[in-house]
Amino acid sequence: MANTYIPALRRIASGFLRFPLPTSIEVAVKCLSRYRVQGGPFKGMIYHSPTLPMLLGTYEMETYQAIEHIRNFEVKRVINIGAAAGFYAIGFARLFPNSTIHAFEMVAEFAEMMRQNAARNSVLDHIISRGICTVTDLAQLTESPGLSLVVIDVEGAELDLLDMVKAPGLEDSLVFVELHDIHQPGCAENIRDRFRETHDIHEFFTRGRELGEFPFFWMKVPPLAWIPRYRKALVDCMGESRPGPQNWFLMIPKDISGGRRLP
């Protein structure tokens, strides 16, 4: 057990020397949270990760309304492509305890972190960890009986995977996709065109974070809160440091959406 913490302690010690303020915030958040997500639909999930927004409950919080809406459906399987350390795979395993999670992650280090996080949340038995996802894999899974939820974040490869000609089961699947026009210009509109006839499409956009969204009250009160550099550091640690604006689609098959629009 001690060996598990040695790399983390080295990283923290190095961080104090190079970036004392951000590292002090990181240590405080991890101690106060005890590695449990503080807000959003996955609140209470145990999650070990080098980044803070997931623990703070601010990671991709623009999409939390979408996730809450997904909870209204009886999902039989979740197909998480680009699962990383398991934030969505484990989160949806907790929301849908009777479902099977197919978590695709091609980076072995991240896949191992996902398995460890899944074990910490007692959902490892619900998760099937796999490597690269092909459109053939996606076709086979979405054509299985029951409602599929496809959660995809693959840095532009969504354009290749979300192909209803090669994977016709997508027509009857919920699809929650992070779009990457920055890597594939026109990606969002291309996917919108493919799905507009079969799905109701809800779009979500990135936005900045606000100090009031930081979950630990005592860390944002005077006198610390009077220091502009400190306030900025708190706000910065809630975001994902994206290179520019980004968006997501939640696409719901029209035969189960009921034509409802999200508020």
Q: Give the domain CATH number at 80.
A: 3.40.50.150
Would the pLDDT of 16 be above 90?
no
- Residue 251 forms beta bridges with which residues? 175, 201
Q: Average pLDDT in the 145-150 region? A: 95
Is the model more confident about 56 or about 186?
A: 56
Q: Average pLDDT in the 110-136 region? A: 95
Q: Is residue 198, in this structure, part of any structural domain at all?
A: yes
Q: Is residue 20, in this structure, part of any structural domain at all?
A: no
Q: Which residues contact 123 (CB under 8 A, 6 or more apart)?
A: 90, 93, 94, 97, 101
pLDDT bucket at 263, cuts 50 / 70 / 90: low
Q: Using an 8 Å Cβ cutoff, are 55 and 38 in contact?
A: yes
Q: Is residue 186, in this structure, part of any structural domain at all?
A: yes
Q: Is residue 247, in this structure, part of any structural domain at all?
A: yes
CB atoms within 10 A of CB 197: 9
How many domains does one find in the chain?
A: 1
Edge-to-edge, what's the strand order for the sheet holding 147-152? Answer: 127-130, 100-104, 75-81, 147-152, 174-179, 247-253, 199-205
Would the pLDDT of 1 be above 50?
no
What range defines the domain where residue 201 resides?
Answer: 36-206+242-257
From the list 114, 110, 132, 111, the residue with the least C-alpha distance to 124 is 114
Q: Average pLDDT in the 147-163 region? A: 91
Q: Average pLDDT in the 133-141 region? A: 95
Span between the terminal Cα atoms of the chain, in Å: 47
- Residue 41 is predicted with a pLDDT of 95
In the chain, % of residues over pLDDT 70: 91
Q: How remote is the C-alpha of 68 from its chain's centroid? A: 13
Q: Is residue 233, in this structure, part of any structural domain at all?
A: no
Would the pLDDT of 155 be above 90?
no
pLDDT bucket at 83, cuts 50 / 70 / 90: very high
CA-angle at 130, arms to 127 and 136, nearest 5°: 115
Q: Average pLDDT in the 141-145 region? A: 93
pLDDT bucket at 6, cuts 50 / 70 / 90: low
Q: Average pLDDT in the 204-218 region? A: 92
- Residue 259 is predicted with a pLDDT of 61
pLDDT bucket at 31, cuts 50 / 70 / 90: confident
Q: Is residue 23, in this structure, part of any structural domain at all?
A: no
Angle between helices 228-236 and 20-33 (to 10 degrees): 60
47 CB burial (10 A radius; 0-12, 13-18, 19+):
buried
User: Mean of the per-residue pLDDT values for the chain?
Assistant: 89
Q: Is residue 52, in this structure, part of any structural domain at all?
A: yes
Q: Average pLDDT in the 60-89 region? A: 94
Would the pLDDT of 8 be above 60?
no
Q: Is the pTM of this model over 0.85?
A: yes
CB atoms within 10 A of CB 181: 17
Q: Is residue 114, in this structure, part of any structural domain at all?
A: yes
CA-angle at 196, arms to 192 and 201, nearest 5°: 75
